[in-house]
Amino acid sequence: MSFSSSVTMVTGGTGQLGRVVVRRFAEAGSQVVVPYRTPGKWEELQAELGPLTSRVDGLHADLIDEATVQRAVAQALARHGRIDHLLCLAGGFAGGRFLETGIDLWEQMLALNLRPTLLALHAVLPHLVERGSGRVVTVGARQAVEPSAGAPAYAASKAAVIVLTQSLARELRGTGVTINCIVPSTIDTETNRRTMPKADPTKWVKPEEVAALLLFLCSPEAEAINGAVIPIYGKL
């Protein structure tokens, strides 16, 4: 699957899932744009990519600040002339039962999971619609469609991403732009292994499997898929 001549923007590209996704898209031939907040994380990603670094462009931005997101997208368009794919991977997790946590946790989850996706969409979608083509993929969570006790703020924030995706899919019909949402279960990352030492990571979703799904959804073969909420649960 070749993505040569394409430009892919990946929010959350310096994270543990994001790094794998960035590498896979760069290997497929895409020019990858990564907005980053922490210079050290960007430097770590560059070191991991090695020779592929030439296919990855870092732009400093705070993904919860509208002005810097708009500026990063404008810089990407000025440098590369186009954006073909937008992958909204930025997010975070915090648990806590409803009666044991305050409103600050809810605001944190909305800021980490909904706001970066919303701001990226606001900045990139006008360009995609004007061009008449593009692929957007957002990231929900299994907790949002099969909620359990202990993380209502996280589940609600991810459910908001799913509903936003479905609503936009209807608005974008006929524009040449598609938007879909993947819904992973636990992803096999260093952080999850560290925080859940008694769990069996062989049942978790591998970052490489998520990256493969994203590649497919951005490919010409997925042109007819729009508004889908796609589970990727591994063996759980």
CATH of the domain at 84: 3.40.50.720
Largest Cα span, the chain? 51
Answer whether residue 1 is part of any domain: no
- Domain coverage including residue 213: 7-232
Q: Is 119 helix (H, G, I), strand (E, B) or coil?
A: helix
- Reported in sequence order, the residue ranges of the chain that DSSP labels E, i.e. its strands, are 7-11, 31-36, 56-60, 85-88, 134-139, 177-184, 229-232
> Residue 34 and residue 26: Cα distance in Å, rounded?
11
- Reported in sequence order, the residue ranges of 74-164 that DSSP labels E, i.e. its strands, are 85-88, 134-139
Q: Output the pTM of the full model.
A: 0.96
- Residue recorded with tokens 């895409």: 30
Answer whether residue 94 is part of any domain: yes
Answer whether residue 163 is part of any domain: yes
Answer whether residue 43 is part of any domain: yes
Question: Residue 2: its pLDDT value, please?
Answer: 72
Q: pLDDT tens digits for 118-146?
A: 999 999 999 999 999 999 999 999 999 99
Answer whether residue 137 is part of any domain: yes
Question: Residue 131: its pLDDT value, please?
Answer: 96
Answer whether residue 17 is part of any domain: yes
Answer whether residue 18 is part of any domain: yes
Cα 67 from chain centroid? 20
Question: Residue 150: its pLDDT value, please?
Answer: 94
Q: Which regions of the chain are under pLDDT 70?
A: 1
Cα 95 from chain centroid? 20
Answer whether residue 48 is part of any domain: yes
Q: Count the domains in the chain.
A: 1
> Residue 177 and residue 179: Cα distance in Å, rounded?
7
Whether 22 and 87 have beta carbons less than 8 Å apart is answered as no
